[in-house]
Chain A
Amino acid sequence: MNTPIVTPEMTPSLNAMFRFQWEKAQNCFVLLFPEGMVKLNGGAGEIMQLIDGQTNIQQITAALHAKFPDAGDLSDDVNEFVTTAIEKKWLNHD
């Protein structure tokens, strides 16, 4: 499979196979799919909350930067997570 190249203009969306929600008992965001669950760490959960099929990578990164001004440049983190998520088919992209 080809590794997707994440560009600032790319707009990722959640694969309909998955459901994204906050899971109180796990104290984290999760992706649910038939008979399974993926637990997301804090950063991944923050990014996933911004993925709505309308917002592109640049806007997601900017929104995160606004929320976490002390975290520095987050574009590498966003690119890394989105790449993984597309490879794992959690996300689709245009």
Chain B
Amino acid sequence: MSDLPLDHPDAAKLEGMTHENQYNFRLAENYAFRSEKGLSKRVVEQISYMKNEPEWMLKFRLKALEIAEKKGRPKWGPSTVDTLNFDEIYFYIRPQDRQGTTDNWEEIPEEVRKTYQRLGVPEAEQRILAGVGAQYESEMVYHSLKEEWTRQGVIFLDTDTGLKEYPEIFKEHFATVVPPEDNYFAAVNSAVWSGGSFVYVPEGVEIEVPLQAYFLINAQSAGQFERTLIIGEKGSKFHYIEGCTAPAYTTDAFHSGVIEIIVKEGSRARYTTIQNWSHNVFNLVTQRAMVYKNASMGWLDGNLGSKTTMKYPSCYLMEEGARGEVLSIAFASDGQWQDAGAKMVHVAPNTSSSVVSKSISKGSGRSSYRGLVQIHEGAYNARSNVECDALLLDEHAKTDTYPYIEINEKTAHVGHEATVSKLNDEQIFYLMSRGIPEDEAAALIVRGFLEPVAKELPLEYAVELNRLIELEMEGSVG
């Protein structure tokens, strides 16, 4: 409906669009380079060549490709993934305007800035000084790092630049948390990865302002394979936020990221992501953290958009006293399948983990909680608590729970609680009797249901979440 290039005379009409319509834009496709469609050795070599990478990375990519081919796609999970056709996908696209990063907002291509405005993120401009990293297409084109972080020795770069500028730190940690052998989509990502963030927080450094990356995809069938590597040295503290919104397209887009986080002794890390891809995107992501002695890792994961999501943020609690937490929200509207959950692996004594998962399904939407709690022998007094609540908005909506629990340690304490509820007529009548229209009443109940997780979100994300729920609830009841 509004697939207009910006130079189109009707482009002005796009101004003042409703939030709903803001997905439906795309910019002119002026790309300097894009790989041929499909996934092949040739494409992988092209990518590595274009990026002018060291030899070891090319070898790593090619080996990963072999692993992917050998492994084949997983036999479990949402069946919709079977419809994903790699032959129709560009695995690498680079915007022509620039390569690498800039610290100056004015140097950001006009097109990119306009895209941000369309997305309703003019705040991004204000947040430059707070250090905003943005990924446009398959590559970071913009990056800003607050001065004090530089002073503190914090590295916050796109991953390609990280590889060039800090080859030693990079090579030491890269693919140690999620090796290509881990799963099929991680292997694909390893072969064709591009972009993502590289973060290094030195020993004892505490960052109060969250590190934020706002990125989006914008070309038909564009692959988006970001690779994020975050290293928190001993006693560090940081919060990384990533949010993404994609324009609507007719052919299926594919997003398969790998996020690796290393949380060393005594450090505290949090990673927040709100995925709001348009409803044609396959979002198949591997997120994992290695958590060491007395360190803590928190994943706050929101899966609102996409056609199909497979995402199970995980914490490997490697040393005594390590803590892991996953707070997740999934919203499966018509045609969506959110297969999300968490994985907690307790390797060491006195480790603890907590999972709170809230899912909402509507119409033909389907949400699944898929979780694994694994307690190894010798992980004395490991504690884990899982709570997953599902809310169904109508009689067609579906929800499933697949909680896998493997305990090999007698002293472990594991709790699991699951609830499924429907939108309650009495609550709706009560709210309506106070003058609140039915759809707003339903939205209010849904927001209340999500509140235990949503209250942990940064304010602008909470506002965005509320807006989305209101849109989803319009005309959905009655």
Do A and B come together as binding partners? no
Which residues of A line the B interface, CB within 8 A? none
User: B interface vs A, CB < 8 Å?
Assistant: none
